[in-house]
């Protein structure tokens, strides 16, 4: 079993094409690409922690239908755009606003929002978050797991740690 992290998929939300300038011609193309990318890396026995803003919530079973198409056991850490239908879906293995876990000896805190400080940050605990769509300069030991940063797919902890964020060259930090 492999554990993956992601956030800010915003399935069914046309705002992401405009606001985040995602490279898709239509919302349908966006959603289908994210589903294909997810299933290309996540297998049925894998686990995915989705750190919020899964889908534009409508009470029509949209979240259930999407979750049924996505591989793996899925956990939701609630984001500001997760409506009642998304949160209430019985397809999630767990739903919470905040979570802590240890993975391969690495302690993690997870929330949709990036923290300025977090539990045991001085003891090497990492902060995984979404919400900022790769636009926030991270603090030490803080990582954006959103799809905008990780090629529109879930990423392993190793991948997340290797790649802080995607930014245009003009916005990227200068090499040290």
Residues 53, 74: Cα–Cα separation, whole Å: 14
What is residue 169's predicted lDDT score, i.e. its pLDDT?
36
Alpha carbons within 13 angstroms on the beta-carbon side of residue 136 total 18
Residues 79, 170: Cα–Cα separation, whole Å: 29
Q: Which two tokens stand for residue 164?
A: 């802080």
pTM across the whole model: 0.91
pLDDT along the chain (176 residues), means of 10: 97 91 95 98 98 84 92 98 93 98 97 96 96 91 96 97 56 38
pLDDT digits (tens, 9 = 90+) for 128-155: 999 999 999 888 999 999 999 999 999 9
**Domains of the chain (ranges plus CATH)?**
3-162 (3.60.21.10)
**Alpha-carbon distances of 168 from 38, 134, 161, 165, 172, rounded to whole Å:** 24, 10, 19, 10, 6
Residues 143, 74: Cα–Cα separation, whole Å: 20
pLDDT digits (tens, 9 = 90+) for 12-35: 999 999 888 899 999 999 999 999
Cα-to-chain-centroid distance, residue 117 = 20
What is residue 138's predicted lDDT score, i.e. its pLDDT?
84
Q: How many CB atoms lie within 10 A of CB 103?
A: 14
What is residue 62's predicted lDDT score, i.e. its pLDDT?
84
Q: Which residues contact 112 (CB under 8 A, 6 or more apart)?
A: 7, 51, 52, 53, 77, 78, 79, 80, 97, 129, 130, 131
**Which residue, among 98, 60, 100, 54, has the nearest Cα to 74 in the 3D structure?**
54
What is residue 163's predicted lDDT score, i.e. its pLDDT?
81
Q: What is the DSSP string of 85-149?
A: HHHH-TT-SEEESEEEEEETTEEEEEESSPPSS-TTGGGT-EEEE-SSTT-SPPPTTEEE--TTT
What is residue 123's predicted lDDT score, i.e. its pLDDT?
95
């Amino acid at each position: 079993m492999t554990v993956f992290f992601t956030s800010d998929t915003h399935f069914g939300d046309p705002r992401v094409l405009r606001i985040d300038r995602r490279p898709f011609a239509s919302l349908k193309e966006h959603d289908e690409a994210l589903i294909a990318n997810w299933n290309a890396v996540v297998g049925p026995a894998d686990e995915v922690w989705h750190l919020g803003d899964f889908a534009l919530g409508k009470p029509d079973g949209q979240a259930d239908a999407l979750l049924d198409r996505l591989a793996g056991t899925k956990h939701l850490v609630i984001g500001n755009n997760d409506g009642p239908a998304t949160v209430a879906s019985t397809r999630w293995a767990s739903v919470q606003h905040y979570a802590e876990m240890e993975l391969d000896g690495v302690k993690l805190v997870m929330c949709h929002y990036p923290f300025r400080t977090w539990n045991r940050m001085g003891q090497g605990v990492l902060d995984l978050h979404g919400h900022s769509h790769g636009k926030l300069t991270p603090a030490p030991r803080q990582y954006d797991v959103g799809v905008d940063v990780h090629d529109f797919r879930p990423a392993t902890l190793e991948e997340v740690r290797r790649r802080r964020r995607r930014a245009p060259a003009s916005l990227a930090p200068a090499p040290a």
